[in-house]
Copies of this chain bind each other. A is one copy, B any other.
Amino acid sequence: VETRRRVGRPSRPVLSRDQIIETAFDVLSETGADDFTMARLAARLGVQTPALYNYVRDRRALVNLMRWDVSSRIDAKQFEVLPWDQAIIPWAISYRQVFATNPHIIALLAAVPIDGTEPSLIGLESIVRSFLRGGWPLARIVPAIVALESFIIGSSLDVLAERDSLGNGAHRTATTDVGAAVTEANLGHDGHEALAPTFARALRAQQAQYESSPADTAFRLGIETMIAGLRLELQKLAEGDPLPTTE
């Protein structure tokens, strides 16, 4: 309905890189990763598609700007003041929140290769230092952090499955079996009642007992479980009785 912009350079720039990135997240959350296109983004911004190429080299570069934006929103500050096992919780919650507010970003980041831009390492550095202060042997720290981040990312993918199933039904995505099954159940399909009656009972019991969704309940259970397990591991390491590390 808007009046068509006439050709030639506008008196003031119509776009900005920040605005493009911000809008990109909006578009992504509506279309999902597979239908996230430069054309749709341009349309939302009220410009022709080629205009975007004044600000980003190509689609891959745009996604990598989104990657950087996402990782900069994860708050690891607590590792500077709290002991490692206490800092994990607020960090993990912040981490998951960033992805949970727009879970489609995970598929996009996993699908689009990284370009040359350096990852932000500030958070990582202070996490490692916190583990070190807590008495962790140097060689075990990276694996521990990788394990934690893996869990958090995986948990964020559950949010994708769940939110889609609660929404208008246009999108229903899932990566895990349980994710798919819970999604189906949320949609009111009851095929699982006959095929997997015990699972169906367990799911109903979960829903009756906890207000939060399976994904949220699982996230809290999982992160607390991992912290407890890591504390145990650290204790064993201190006693000179390390867990077996080879298969």
Which of A33, A118, A143, A155 has its CB near the most chain B CB atoms (within 10 A)? A143
Category for how many chain A residues contact B? 35 or more
How many protomers of this protein does the assembly include? Answer: 2
Judge whether A184 is part of the interface by a CB distance below 8 angstroms. Answer: yes
Judge whether A62 is part of the interface by a CB distance below 8 angstroms. Answer: no
Which of B74, B125, B148, B176 is in CB contact (< 8 Å) with A196? B125
Contact A150 B158 (CB under 8 A): yes
Chain B residues in 8 Å Cβ range of A177: 71, 74, 119-121, 123-124, 149
Q: How far is the CB of A183 from chain B (nearest CB, A)?
A: 7
19 A-B residue pairings within 8 Å (CB atoms): A71-B177, A107-B107, A113-B171, A118-B195, A123-B177, A144-B221, A145-B218, A146-B178, A146-B182, A149-B154, A151-B154, A154-B154, A220-B247, A221-B243, A221-B245, A225-B229, A225-B232, A227-B229, A228-B233
A53 to B114 Cα, complex, angstroms = 33
Assuming the contacts A196-B122, A222-B226, A232-B228, asked whether A143 and B206 have C-beta atoms less than 8 A apart, the reply is yes
Q: How far is the CB of A144 from chain B (nearest CB, A)?
A: 6
Chain B residues in 8 Å Cβ range of A201: 138
Chain B proximity mask over A143-185: 1 for CB below 8 Å, otherwise 0: 1111111111111011010001000001111111111111110
Contact A175 B106 (CB under 8 A): yes
Chain B residues in 8 Å Cβ range of A228: 228-229, 232-233
Which of B155, B175, B232 is in CB contact (< 8 Å) with A110? B175
Contact A124 B222 (CB under 8 A): no
A40 to B29 Cα, complex, angstroms = 28
Chain B residues in 8 Å Cβ range of A14: none
Segment with Cβ contacts to B, from A2-10, A16-24, A44-52, A209-217: A209-217
Contact A210 B111 (CB under 8 A): no
Closest to A76 in B: B177
Contact B140 A221 (CB under 8 A): yes
Judge whether A199 is part of the interface by a CB distance below 8 angstroms. Answer: yes
Which of B121, B196, B208 is in CB contact (< 8 Å) with A128? B196
Closest to A183 in B: B114
Judge whether A101 is part of the interface by a CB distance below 8 angstroms. Answer: no
